[in-house]
A and B are shown apart, each in its own frame.
Chain A
Amino acid sequence: SQQGEEDPQALSIQEGENATMNCSYKTSINNLQWYRQNSGRGLVHLILIRSNEREKHSGRLRVTLDTSKKSSSLLITASRAADTASYFCATDARGSNYKLTFGKGTLLTVNP
């Protein structure tokens, strides 16, 4: 089964609204990354948060990590139509050293 599970599976909002996506995982991790994928093609790295961090910001993105609940959230503020994409969390499990395990993703649609 997937290490990371995102929810919701799909999210539709209006431009200007905030979008929140969640990721849960099963095993202890070194870090967690969020990626974006447009049109079913290559993924683009958004942000990485380490296991000893609780919150991280990058532009309109805010990521939180709760290792006690084994969960993370990605908040996109003031969404734009161009933010429409699938968003994946990827975990680097302790002991894996390099292998990222991806969830199934959240499909975000931002309506103009």
Chain B
Amino acid sequence: GAGVSQSPSNKVTEKGKDVELRCDPISGHTALYWYRQSLGQGLEFLIYFQGNSAPDKSGLPSDRFSAERTGGSVSTLTIQRTQQEDSAVYLCASSLGGGGSDEQYFGPGTRLTVT
């Protein structure tokens, strides 16, 4: 079946502009995660959605970052007033349940470049 998809695959934007990144998780997966990966670094946790529960936003680096998950499926990560330090690959993952022992399935990522 289809895996996790993300769009766009690449996004170049000017400093100060807003961007929206989209994630389509695997159908039936209740948990959805957003991560950020800077060049040569590991993954930085941003936000976690599980079913209808309130999301864990503890990883969002500033109030310029927000995310929604509509209907328990598609998620959008929005970055307002982008800064150059926001340049990174943004990865979305989903898992069947929300436990830490669940395998996470990753999308191909969105490479964001802020000029």
A residues sitting closer than 8 Å to B (CB atoms) are 2, 4, 30-31, 33, 35, 40-45, 48, 50, 88, 90, 92-93, 96-105
B99 touches A102 (CB 8 A): no
In whole Å, how far is B57's beta carbon from the nearest beta carbon of chain A? 12
A30 touches B100 (CB 8 A): yes
A48 touches B42 (CB 8 A): no
Give Cα distance in the complex from A69 to B39, angstroms.
30
B residues sitting closer than 8 Å to A (CB atoms) are 4, 31, 33, 35, 37, 39-43, 45, 48, 50, 56, 89, 91, 93, 98-109
Interface of A is mostly: strand
Query: What A residues does B31 contact at CB under 8 A?
Result: 98
Query: What A residues does B56 contact at CB under 8 A?
Result: 98-99
Q: A2-B42, A103-B42 are in contact. Are A98 and B100 (CB under 8 A)?
A: yes
A97 touches B99 (CB 8 A): yes
A88 touches B106 (CB 8 A): no
- Partner of B45 from the list A31, A35, A40, A100 (CB cut-off 8 Å) is A100
